[in-house]
Amino acid sequence: MKRSTTAAILLLAALIGLTHAARSEERVELSGQPGITLPVLYDAAATPTASVILFVGGDGALEHETASFLLRVRQRFVAAGMSVAVPDTPSDHPGGFGPIYRTWLPHTQDVAAIVAFLKQKAPVPIWAVGTSNGTISAANAAARLGPGAIAGVVLTSSVWLGGLGYVPVGKIAVPVLDVQNRDDACPASQFALAKKYIARFTAAPVKEFVAVAGGGDGGPRCGTGSPHDFYGVENQVVSTIIDWIRAHN
């Protein structure tokens, strides 16, 4: 399939997702830092058993990631009884931020504000779920904020060569799931390295590495429409994630 056709399909999928989400999804503005606002897409499950913070990859700006993996499947979490929060970039980084920023204190403070917001909405466990560069944010939140804030972590397409190595993952003391695609060709998220480094989560009470294969339709190797983005196998992956959260919630 030509790349232009792939792009059209991805855009259509994103628009369909936005149409379905529009019924209940709202955009709220939080503040984790003085004078800084943090836009967050929030969708409440009717009777939530958990909440999930979904961290997109790339530079973190939702306008740049409209058809990315976690945005494509976010309604699956809501349907499974999990309220969803998807942070955008804060007002002092309107065009996005680099991978290492995801390990810095201001970003951690923003995530803490999301945690406080979700706890106010429902007294249920909160999970951090990240894909690609978003795995840095998810792991950092669990390591820095602790089990009192983050109940579990899900990493997909972990970027061990793209910034995740700067996170003290040995401090993460909650369940950890890592899902990787064997066919991922992105240099930052090498399958063999992710499989090896699951052992670094030494304080996690349970950790699991899950391998999938296939997907992709001509997209950039680290972007949307690629195995790195789980394009074509997203339903399999999100089902695995939801089942794992339920089993360890």
Looking at the structure of the chain, the number of domains it has is: 1
- Strand extents, DSSP E, the chain: 26-33, 36-43, 50-55, 82-87, 126-131, 152-156, 176-181, 207-212
**pTM tops 0.85:** yes
pLDDT, one tens digit for every residue, the chain (249 residues): 444 444 444 444 444 444 444 457 999 999 988 999 999 999 999 999 999 999 999 999 999 998 899 999 999 999 999 999 999 999 999 899 999 999 999 999 999 999 999 999 999 999 999 999 999 999 999 999 999 999 999 999 999 998 999 999 999 999 999 999 999 999 999 999 999 999 999 999 999 999 999 998 888 999 999 999 999 999 999 999 999 999 999
Q: Which residue has the tokens 């089942």?
A: 243
Non-local (6+) Cβ contacts of 210 within 8 A are: 177, 178, 179, 180, 240, 244
Q: Count of alpha carbons within 13 Å of 87, Cβ hemisphere only?
A: 37
CB count in 10 Å sphere of residue 196: 12
Burial environment of residue 165 by CB neighbours within 10 A (0 to 12, 13 to 18, 19 or more):
middle
- Strand extents, DSSP E, 4-140: 26-33, 36-43, 50-55, 82-87, 126-131
Cβ pair 182, 213 in contact under 8 A? yes
**Where in the sequence is the domain holding 236, given as residue range(s)?**
3-248
- Model pLDDT, residue 217: 84
What CATH number is attached to the domain comprising 50?
A: 3.40.50.1820
